[in-house]
Chain A
Amino acid sequence: MGRITLDKVAKRFGEVEVIPPLDLTIEDGEFVVFVGPSGCGKSTLLRLIAGLEDVSGGEIRIDGQNATEMPPAKRGLAMVFQSYALYPHMTVRKNIAFPLKMAGMPEEEQKRRIDNAAKILNLTDYIDRRPGQLSGGQRQRVAIGRAIVREPAAFLFDEPLSNLDAALRVGMRLEITELHSRLKTTMIYVTHDQVEAMTMADKIVVLRAGHIEQVGSPLELYRTPRNVFVAGFIGSPKMNLIEGGEAGKHGCKTIGIRPEHISVSPTEGMWKGRVGVSEHLGSDTFFYVHETGLREDMTVRVSGEVEMKSGDTVYLTPDMDKLHRFDDAGLRLS
């Protein structure tokens, strides 16, 4: 079981309020991702849940039990750190065994669990090596292994993939997702990478300056961002946000249209512009279009390989059903 409830949890470092009082419920078995720009308090929030930082106010409940004052060891949570934080003087086996040893588990049971974890994570071949002899990806697997053997109430991941190279990151992302569907244990995952958030999460919590901007499934956030910040943060490439006269026509302060919801034509359309840089990914092509008569440059995403040169004239037409409208306060208008 791993239902975690934050009730008006707040954190101050001296005079600075990093996290104003905040409520959040994480259901048992959910994969929740905290996402937001650097310094938004997402790691601090995770550390509060872990017990590595003391809360300045409010209450943390784990499975209904008040855990606010509990030391980290008693909360039954496992954490995977960005730096892996393996014990350098222990072999992989001893690293993984450490939490079991601390729990006073019998040797045979320890061995069974370690072998099982090693098998799941493909660690068997280097189980007797020290962390210093492993690559980044292998170290991260060991860190995950150390977390899963305990069968914790919930896993906490603090940007676990940021030290890995791009290819490995995609692989590990998949492994963690698979691990979640296999274990069905609550996972809380902190990242600044919205692609990780979109691909892994059941529920995304978007944070800015300690505030929760929106909580929802990846597609909810994608389809109905609650405000301009979420609209701009979720989705890659970013949503085009247009202010001024064009927005006025729709009776709002800002309109938003995602790059993939704009159709491109060389002959006719709503906004005329000139192609600047185009990025060819093979599967998609991104165009950056200038001189559209709008205040902002537009980003357009077209499926497949489209030949268009810098300087070509294009006509852009947004899909009206997919247009987002935001009021003066930046909030979504339905």
Chain B
Amino acid sequence: MARAVSTNRKITVTVIAWSIGFLIFFPILWTILTSFKTEAEAIASPPSFLFFEWTTENYGIVMERSNYFLHFMNSVVISVGSTLIGLLIAVPAAWSMAFVPGKNTKNVLMWMLSTKMLPPVGVLIPIYLIFKNVGLLDTRTGLVIVLTLINLPIIIWMLYTYFKEIPVDILEAARMDGANLRNEIIYILTPMAVPGIASTMLLNIILAWNEAFWTLNLTAANAAPLTAFIASYSSPEGLFYAKLSAASTMAIAPILIMGWFSQKQLVRGLTFGAVK
């Protein structure tokens, strides 16, 4: 039986929810607002909230000073590329672990997860040197490789959980119905796994888009994605808040828009396993 909820309670809960939502959204809102202020206004105390002279000069300066589209394209290539390659490796891996588990499947999964427990900076120097020696520093290829490897454990874990939810009976039914392994994957497994694969993909694009440690440390000018583009506006002296905010806004806008349009898939991705 559904619990009866009084109007007062509804109002309270709504207000609290909106407040929390606003609190979480506030830094982004503040960044966007700051990007439309002058540098002087950006550091004014007390800060002005909405009543200031709106200006777009920061965007002009940022566009002039750096090649936004180069960074944007780098971000797209790196995040989409690493996610697709990651999926290519992870789908068969997760499939075999979910449907043909061996004695050590659980251990392998734990081992993969454990690699995420290592602080990335711990392996920065060896990876940097390897990249330098093989000429992958400041290349898109290099970043795609690193981000694929960094996010692979998460991709495999997510897919594994999705595949586990597919009843074995259905795959056996397909086998009885005359499907060979190839047809089983094409007609049964993939369509049933598509929602899971899609949300994994979206989540990983976002993770890779926002990844800053490796992208900052392994790039200079050529392959630098939007994270490096933002970082280039932070400087130890001078007034830079407004320009930094403009750069940030430009960097997060694409992913924010993508996230907005794929909310439904994302929510499923973030709560996977929780509800059948």
A/B interface sample: 8 pairs, CB < 8 A: A71-B180, A79-B176, A81-B169, A81-B172, A87-B174, A89-B191, A99-B178, A150-B178
Within 8 A of A (CB), among B156-191: 167, 169-170, 172-180, 183, 187-188, 191
Within 8 A of B (CB), among A30-69: 50-52
B28 at the interface (CB under 8 A from A): no
Contacts of A72 in B (CB 8 A): 172, 175-176
A52–B188 CA distance with the chains assembled, in angstroms: 17
Asked if B170 and A71 make an inter-chain contact with CB atoms under 8 angstroms apart, the answer reads no
Asked if B192 and A88 make an inter-chain contact with CB atoms under 8 angstroms apart, the answer reads yes
A98 at the interface (CB under 8 A from B): yes
Contacts of A102 in B (CB 8 A): 177-179, 183
Instruction: Identify which of B169, B180, B188, B191 contacts A73 (C-beta below 8 A).
Output: B180
Instruction: Identify which of A52, A86, A89, A101 contacts B176 (C-beta below 8 A).
Output: A52
A81–B188 CA distance with the chains assembled, in angstroms: 16
Asked if B192 and A85 make an inter-chain contact with CB atoms under 8 angstroms apart, the answer reads no
A146 at the interface (CB under 8 A from B): yes
Nearest chain B residue, comparing its CB with the CB of A149: B177
Q: Closest Cβ of chain A: how far from B188's Cβ, in Å?
A: 6
A98–B178 CA distance with the chains assembled, in angstroms: 9
A103 at the interface (CB under 8 A from B): yes
Instruction: Identify which of B176, B183, B187 contacts A50 (C-beta below 8 A).
Output: B176
Within 8 A of B (CB), among A291-317: none
Asked if B180 and A85 make an inter-chain contact with CB atoms under 8 angstroms apart, the answer reads no
Q: Closest Cβ of chain A: how far from B101's Cβ, in Å?
A: 15
Asked if B172 and A73 make an inter-chain contact with CB atoms under 8 angstroms apart, the answer reads no
A83 at the interface (CB under 8 A from B): yes
**Extra contacts besides A72-B175, A79-B176 (15): CB < 8 Å:** A71-B180, A79-B172, A85-B169, A87-B170, A87-B174, A87-B192, A88-B192, A89-B192, A98-B179, A99-B177, A102-B177, A102-B178, A102-B179, A150-B178, A156-B176
Nearest chain A residue, comparing its CB with the CB of B176: A79
A87–B169 CA distance with the chains assembled, in angstroms: 10
Asked if A87 and B188 make an inter-chain contact with CB atoms under 8 angstroms apart, the answer reads yes
A50–B172 CA distance with the chains assembled, in angstroms: 10
A234–B67 CA distance with the chains assembled, in angstroms: 84
Nearest chain A residue, comparing its CB with the CB of B178: A102
Asked if A73 and B175 make an inter-chain contact with CB atoms under 8 angstroms apart, the answer reads yes
Contact residues of A with B, CB < 8 Å? 50-52, 71-73, 77-79, 81, 83, 85-89, 98-99, 101-103, 146, 150, 156
A79–B179 CA distance with the chains assembled, in angstroms: 13
Instruction: Identify which of B173, B178, B179, B187 contacts A85 (C-beta below 8 A).
Output: B173
Contacts of B178 in A (CB 8 A): 73, 99, 102-103, 150
Nearest chain B residue, comparing its CB with the CB of A103: B178
Q: Closest Cβ of chain A: how far from B61's Cβ, in Å?
A: 51
Q: Closest Cβ of chain B: how far from A99's Cβ, in Å?
A: 4
Asked if A73 and B179 make an inter-chain contact with CB atoms under 8 angstroms apart, the answer reads yes
Q: Closest Cβ of chain B: how far from A47's Cβ, in Å?
A: 8
Nearest chain A residue, comparing its CB with the CB of B173: A85
Q: Closest Cβ of chain B: how far from A270's Cβ, in Å?
A: 52
3 smallest A-B Cβ distances: which pairs? A102-B178, A85-B173, A99-B177
Q: Closest Cβ of chain A: how far from B268's Cβ, in Å?
A: 15
Contacts of B169 in A (CB 8 A): 81, 83, 85
Instruction: Identify which of A52, A86, A88, A150 contacts B175 (C-beta below 8 A).
Output: A52
Nearest chain B residue, comparing its CB with the CB of A102: B178
Q: Closest Cβ of chain A: how far from B64's Cβ, in Å?
A: 51
Asked if A78 and B183 make an inter-chain contact with CB atoms under 8 angstroms apart, the answer reads no
Given A83-B167, A88-B192, does the pair A98, B176 have CB atoms closer than 8 Å? no
Q: Closest Cβ of chain A: how far from B275's Cβ, in Å?
A: 15
A146–B177 CA distance with the chains assembled, in angstroms: 8
Q: Closest Cβ of chain A: how far from B230's Cβ, in Å?
A: 42
Contacts of A71 in B (CB 8 A): 175, 180
Among the interface residues A51, A71, A77, A87, which one has the most CB atoms of the partner chain B within 10 A? A87
Given A73-B179, A85-B167, does the pair A98, B172 have CB atoms closer than 8 Å? no
Fill in one digit per residue for B238-252: 1 if any A CB lies within 8 Å of its CB, else 0: 000000000000000
Contacts of B173 in A (CB 8 A): 79, 81, 85-87, 146
Asked if A98 and B174 make an inter-chain contact with CB atoms under 8 angstroms apart, the answer reads yes
A167–B35 CA distance with the chains assembled, in angstroms: 70
Nearest chain B residue, comparing its CB with the CB of A78: B176
Contacts of B175 in A (CB 8 A): 51-52, 71-73
Contacts of B170 in A (CB 8 A): 85-88
Nearest chain A residue, comparing its CB with the CB of B195: A89
A18–B172 CA distance with the chains assembled, in angstroms: 21
Fill in one digit per residue for B71-112: 1 if any A CB lies within 8 Å of its CB, else 0: 000000000000000000000000000000000000000000
Contacts of B176 in A (CB 8 A): 50, 52, 72-73, 77-79, 156
Nearest chain A residue, comparing its CB with the CB of B181: A71
Q: Closest Cβ of chain B: how far from A141's Cβ, in Å?
A: 15
A156–B177 CA distance with the chains assembled, in angstroms: 12
Q: Closest Cβ of chain B: how far from A92's Cβ, in Å?
A: 14
Contacts of A98 in B (CB 8 A): 174, 177, 179, 187
Q: Closest Cβ of chain A: how far from B184's Cβ, in Å?
A: 9
Contacts of A146 in B (CB 8 A): 173, 177
Asked if A85 and B172 make an inter-chain contact with CB atoms under 8 angstroms apart, the answer reads yes
